[in-house]
């Protein structure tokens, strides 16, 4: 099914029958992707006395309780309320959901004992394009990203300078296949988060960061229409399901 979208000043054509899901589904158990030193999520039948919410156990319905942390257990989209004292909900801040996006692939470079995504790398991969969103795939890009246990592994991260470059380029929505845009252990500095949201100035309240995506290798670098779907959680972050559609005409 082809759809023609008038998106701001551009007319784009996409095929709605060919969605490209770049989310990691949440599942109960230790094989779920994990970070930030918390135990794995659980999806279990609700019990109340003799009642067990599972058809196989005699219930008329399957009736599960789900316990998880959106930041630690899979694809999630967060707003600036993630790092502010006052409460802000991503469900209230994200008002639009379709954005012109660029998918790029980056090999994090060594910096001491760390691996980083630098401004120079983003300049090379992104160039002077005009996009609202950027989707960053890091390599190596193996399937184990969907089950990896990231705690205490010092994953790659984005430098403050690189985050400022994205702001300068007008990027409103940053999506990445890592547990965070910042260094795992940075004593709470969160320099990339703060730079991207401009926390020290006029806060970019409409901007979002989506972490823990997975961009399959069969998705080519290039221009896409992004459908940034979130669950309506009253929280700084929500589980999300970003979907890409290849732009057929520009």
| C-alpha to C-alpha distance for 210 and 243, rounded to whole angstroms | 12
Reported as a single tens digit per residue, the pLDDT across 29-61 is 999 999 999 999 999 999 999 999 999 999 999
Q: Tokens for 143, please give them.
A: 């399937």
Domains of the chain: 2-25+70-246 (3.50.30.50)
User: Does the pLDDT at position 238 exceed 60?
Assistant: yes
User: Does the pLDDT at position 249 exceed 90?
Assistant: no
3-state secondary structure of 162: helix
**178 within 8 A of 171, measured Cβ to Cβ:** no
**30 within 8 A of 147, measured Cβ to Cβ:** no
Reported as a single tens digit per residue, the pLDDT across 90-139 is 999 999 999 999 999 999 999 999 999 999 999 999 999 999 999 999 99
Q: What is the mean pLDDT of residues 170-192?
A: 98
| C-alpha to C-alpha distance for 180 and 202, rounded to whole angstroms | 23
pTM of the model: 0.96
Q: 114-132 b/e with 16+ CB inside 10 Å = b? A: eebbbbebbeebbeeeebb
């Amino acid at each position: 099914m082809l759809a023609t979208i008038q998106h701001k000043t551009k007319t784009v054509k996409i095929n709605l029958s060919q969605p490209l899901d770049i989310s990691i589904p949440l599942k109960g158990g230790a094989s779920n992707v994990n970070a930030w030193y918390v135990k794995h999520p659980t999806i279990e039948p609700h019990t109340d006395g003799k009642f067990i919410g599972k058809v196989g156990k005699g219930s008329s319905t399957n009736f599960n309780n789900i316990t998880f942390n959106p930041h630690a257990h899979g694809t999630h989209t967060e707003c600036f309320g993630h790092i502010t004292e006052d409460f802000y909900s991503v469900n209230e801040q994200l008002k639009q959901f379709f954005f012109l996006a660029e998918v790029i692939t980056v090999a994090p470079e060594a910096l001491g004992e760390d691996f980083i995504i630098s401004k120079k790398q983003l300049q090379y991969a992104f160039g002077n394009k005009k996009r609202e969103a950027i989707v960053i795939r890091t390599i190596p890009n193996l399937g184990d990203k969907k089950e990896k246990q990231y705690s205490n592994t010092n994953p790659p991260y984005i430098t403050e300078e690189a985050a400022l470059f994205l702001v300068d380029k007008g990027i409103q929505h940053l999506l990445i296949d890592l547990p965070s845009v910042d260094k795992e252990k940075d004593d709470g500095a969160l320099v990339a988060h703060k730079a991207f949201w401009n926390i020290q100035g006029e806060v970019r309240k409409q901007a979002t960061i989506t972490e823990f995506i997975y961009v399959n290798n069969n998705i080519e670098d290039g221009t896409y229409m992004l459908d940034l779907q979130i669950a309506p959680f009253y929280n700084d972050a929500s589980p999300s399901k970003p979907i890409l559609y290849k732009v057929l005409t520009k």
